[in-house]
Structure 1
Amino acid sequence: MSSETAIPRINGERLWHSLQQLGEIGADASSGGVTRLSLSDAELEARQFIVCLMKEAGLDVRQDEAGNLIGRLEGELPGAVVTGSHIDSVIQAGRFDGPLGVLSGIEALRTVKEQGIRHARPLEVICFTDEEGVRFGAGYFGSRAMAGSWDEAWLELTDFSGITLKEAMERANLKPHKASQAARSGEEIKAYVELHIEQGRVLEDREIPVGIATAIYGHRWLEVRLQGRADHAGTTPMKLRRDPMAAAAEAMLAAERIALQAGGVATAGTLQISPGAINVIPGEVIFTLDVRHERLDSLAEMARAIESAVNQVADERRLEAAIRIIDGADPVQSAESVMAAIAAGCGELNIPEHRMICGAGHDAVVMSGITDMGLILIRSKDGISHHPQEWSSLDDCEAGANVLLHTLIRLANDIIV
């Protein structure tokens, strides 16, 4: 891009307004949090908002077989340059995780169309189905379908109310058994670039608004089931107890130690105790562990070590243990070509270039399986995410969206950095 030409920029106020509008859908007035579980009434309402925004931006809009919403600007050459993210949320979430990537993508393509910016290749923005995995216990449904890794077994997964994914998709006017038809090839998609809040404190600590992810942690989600014997809390001596709750506490601490030693992270996120009475020794405990690392071999070793620790605790306490992997993704590396385009965009906008590892999983993890992938991160206040207090400033959102815009333009025009 010539330095004599005015540098294209998105409309930051318009982006911010759309973030606030979307944030009202599924909002809880008392906590300030947002709950939009995948394919829920709130998320389906939010999808209609996204469709309207895409149409207002002048994009050709379609929904694929997996429910992914796609807005497109046609180009002269084959091989689209794609951006996107998701709008489903965790329970009591903030307003930025996921939506920023979708809305910034729409704003970037809208800017390209409004300003008549040349793009030899097609540009697309995608709102993916169910990235978070909260409602059905597994995530990345939309991006996995697009990447050709859809699993029909997912249709039988159930939510907290016993509703299956199949039933939820049918209620959303989707045809579940056609979801695999959403698959696309690397020839169709030249590159994928995602914009996301950091969800950590690295950029804030360094006083930098934008980061370039060099890699994304892989993860394994483990479900641990410990079965013992439910007994009276007052009449059962300590030596006679088969208490799965005490064992679960030991296992969680063991997972923490293993993560520290391996340089990864492990989190016990959910816990179910049965029968769940104050004066009853539990008979069964089920808990989940979210295990992550940037190296595949270390991630696998962490999972093995945790399984061994759980089994050892169960044996010592005369319990039955069952461990299963309920979801997972391998660590991925960003493509050098996309990172270079992001870095060039930062340079053009006078934003410091900072490369870093991303600890959170995103649809970019899955899309890296079929095309070159890059991830732009923006500063998160206090590193808070998945919480009502999640916050990124208007200036940082605008800066990230402008870097995204320039990255897309470079990739769509095959500008070699």
Structure 2
Amino acid sequence: MRKRLHEGLILLSQTISLETSDRLGSGVAELSAFRADDRPGWTREVFSEPYRASRDWTAARMREAGLEVHVDAAGNIVGRLAGRVPSAPALVTGSHTDTVDGGGRFDGIVGVLGSIEAARLLQDSGRQLERDLLVVDFLGEESNVFGLSCLGSRSAAQEMTREDLERRDYRGVSLGQAYTDFGLDPSRLSDVPWAKDPLHAFVELHIEQGPTLEKRGLPLGIVTAITGIERFIATFAGSAGHAGTTSMEDRRDAMVAAAEAVLAVRAEGCGAPTHGVATSTRVESESRSPNVVPSLVRMYSEVRSVDSSWLSGVKGRLTADIAAKAADLGVDVGFEWSTDNTVVQADRGVQDVAGAAADALGLPWMPIPSGATHDAVHMASLAPMGMIFIPSKNGKSHCPEEFSSTDDIAVGVHALVATLRHLDGADTHTSA
């Protein structure tokens, strides 16, 4: 396997110019400069001033690559490379350039800069595609203070609701107001003509955000499915008491019940039969006093899997387990469940085309599930969808240590170019 990989990289290195690598490396560095100085890592959250400033840079980068650029009503930056037959359904590629608080320099950014470079390489090759290629920097893919991810792709797919726009952040500001303050009309978010036209296929280049490709020494992963995500808030109601005078056997300690629940969530993830994870992200006590037995505690958790049958049973299992443990402690518990997204399968035809493109380049690859959600989830309702992963160093993501080498990004870009060329002539709508 490693010999085949070495031979494939030698073949590919003959087509990757130093100029391409330099553009990718400098692009990551320049875009990373747009960040919040008062936050850790590379913080560029949706609707923030660093994010606003970065968008002009991204649009200019697209124009420099020869794309016709506009910002649609949903806030997505769209660059168009004209095809030979403008009436043919367009190919779409892209990702996002916002980050989580304290995030890294590569999540989403690789997909946007890589897609711009792919469009440049296609144009420079002198071989015009049959159909238009749209390169999209989707607005606000990451989870945010409003608790709603994939804002731009969600709007393009006509999935943004009135209730979503009424969500409020910690300051009491609504999502709709945040759009208005950012210069977008929340009543027009679904007015995205390019997404209403028939689309041929959507392919997203992305870092893996996990360790599998690096551990196996593979340059590419072809995504089979994108994880479903179920989230919940558990509210534990016990009884307050003096921490020094209330005996241990007389306590109804909401914090202890929450601690038991954190372990129950972990056990659920550890017991998943295939790809499944479970995480508690926050525990909050209403009491700020250091000498009071906690009486009201909230725990925020989520479970993810590409196994729909396992995921569908999680709600019942965890609710029963956590409630039983809380009852043993004399604590009441209530649950608020929400579905971030269901399991989404990548289109088999697009997977096959991406695999064939990698094979043609002499690059080994593996089928791989995505444990993170992506704009591709919502684009799957508009077009046959696929994703290409490149390795992440030590599997780190959503943190300052997130890293993918320029060489790995360049390999991903050339795999994307080959995939787009193959898809340009493929009948994607006949695949299972």
TM-score scaled by length of structure 2: 0.90
Which residue is equivalent to 1:130?
140
For the Cα contact (< 8 Å) 1:138–1:326, is it kept in 2?
A: no
1:15 to 17, 24, 31: 24
> Quick check: 1:384 aligned with 2:389?
no
Rounded Cα–Cα distance in structure 1 between residues aligned with 2:337 and 2:203: 29
Which residue is equivalent to 2:282?
270
> Quick check: 1:285 aligned with 2:297?
yes
> Quick check: 1:41 aligned with 2:49?
yes
> Quick check: 1:67 aligned with 2:75?
yes
Rounded Cα–Cα distance in structure 2 between residues aligned with 1:51 and 1:232: 59
For the Cα contact (< 8 Å) 1:276–1:282, is it kept in 2?
A: no
Rounded Cα–Cα distance in structure 2 between residues aligned with 1:191 and 1:334: 11
Rounded Cα–Cα distance in structure 2 between residues aligned with 1:45 and 1:303: 41
For the Cα contact (< 8 Å) 1:152–1:177, is it kept in 2?
A: no
1:191 to 198, 201, 212: 201
Rounded Cα–Cα distance in structure 2 between residues aligned with 1:313 and 1:258: 14
Which residue is equivalent to 1:353?
365
Rounded Cα–Cα distance in structure 2 between residues aligned with 1:224 and 1:117: 57
For the Cα contact (< 8 Å) 1:92–1:387, is it kept in 2?
A: yes
Rounded Cα–Cα distance in structure 2 between residues aligned with 1:167 and 1:192: 31
Which residue is equivalent to 2:160?
150
For the Cα contact (< 8 Å) 2:304–2:311, is it kept in 1?
A: yes
Which stretch shifts more, 224-233 or 332-341? 224-233
For the Cα contact (< 8 Å) 1:186–1:371, is it kept in 2?
A: no
Which stretch shifts more, 323-332 or 200-209? 323-332
CA RMSD of aligned residues (A): 2.2
User: Which amino acid in structure 2 is aligned with residue 278 of structure 1?
Assistant: P
For the Cα contact (< 8 Å) 2:258–2:283, is it kept in 1?
A: no
Tell me how far 1:84 sits from its aligned partner: 1.2
Which stretch shifts more, 86-95 or 236-245? 236-245
- Once the two structures are superposed, the pairs formed by residues 233-244 of structure 1 within 5 Å of their partners are 233-244=243-254
Distance 1:408-1:125 versus aligned 2 partners, 3 A rule? same
2:373 alignment partner, SS class:
coil
User: Which amino acid in structure 2 is aligned with residue 46 of structure 1?
Assistant: S
Which residue is equivalent to 1:342?
354
For the Cα contact (< 8 Å) 2:36–2:50, is it kept in 1?
A: no
1:93 to 97, 103, 107: 103
Which residue is equivalent to 1:209?
219
Tell me how far 1:185 sits from its aligned partner: 5.5
> Quick check: 1:231 aligned with 2:245?
no
Query: How far does the alpha carbon of each residue in 1:334-370 deviate from its partner, in whole angstroms, 9 at most, with x for none?
Result: 1122112211221232211221122111111221122
Query: How far does the alpha carbon of each residue in 1:140-188 deviate from its partner, in whole angstroms, 9 at most, with x for none?
Result: 2211111121111111222233322112111111001221223765752
Rounded Cα–Cα distance in structure 1 between residues aligned with 2:321 and 2:288: 25
User: Which amino acid in structure 2 is aligned with residue 154 of structure 1?
Assistant: D
Rounded Cα–Cα distance in structure 2 between residues aligned with 1:327 and 1:270: 18
Which residue is equivalent to 1:294?
306
> Quick check: 1:257 aligned with 2:258?
no
> Quick check: 1:24 aligned with 2:33?
yes
Which stretch shifts more, 6-15 or 170-179? 6-15
Which residue is equivalent to 1:58?
66
Tell me how far 1:28 sits from its aligned partner: 4.8
Distance 1:146-1:30 versus aligned 2 partners, 3 A rule? closer
For the Cα contact (< 8 Å) 2:65–2:119, is it kept in 1?
A: yes
Q: Number of residue pairs matched?
A: 412
Unaligned runs of 5+ in 2: 1-10
Which residue is equivalent to 2:256?
246
Distance 1:389-1:348 versus aligned 2 partners, 3 A rule? same
For the Cα contact (< 8 Å) 1:204–1:381, is it kept in 2?
A: yes
Which residue is equivalent to 1:332?
344
> Quick check: 1:161 aligned with 2:157?
no
Rounded Cα–Cα distance in structure 2 between residues aligned with 1:327 and 1:47: 30
Which residue is equivalent to 2:319?
307
Which residue is equivalent to 1:322?
334
Rounded Cα–Cα distance in structure 2 between residues aligned with 1:163 and 1:37: 16
2:411 to 395, 399, 405: 399
Distance 1:29-1:342 versus aligned 2 partners, 3 A rule? farther
Query: How far does the alpha carbon of each residue in 1:79-120 deviate from its partner, in whole angstroms, 9 at most, with x for none?
Result: 111111111211111100111111111111122223323211
Distance 1:348-1:69 versus aligned 2 partners, 3 A rule? same
Rounded Cα–Cα distance in structure 2 between residues aligned with 1:187 and 1:172: 27
Tell me how far 1:30 sits from its aligned partner: 8.9
Rounded Cα–Cα distance in structure 1 between residues aligned with 2:283 and 2:139: 26
For the Cα contact (< 8 Å) 2:72–2:192, is it kept in 1?
A: yes
For the Cα contact (< 8 Å) 1:81–1:189, is it kept in 2?
A: yes
For the Cα contact (< 8 Å) 2:223–2:370, is it kept in 1?
A: yes
1:287 alignment partner, SS class:
strand
2:271 alignment partner, SS class:
helix
Which stretch shifts more, 275-284 or 355-364? 275-284
For the Cα contact (< 8 Å) 1:233–1:281, is it kept in 2?
A: yes
2:191 alignment partner, SS class:
helix
For the Cα contact (< 8 Å) 2:39–2:101, is it kept in 1?
A: no
Distance 1:187-1:296 versus aligned 2 partners, 3 A rule? farther
TM-score scaled by length of structure 1: 0.93
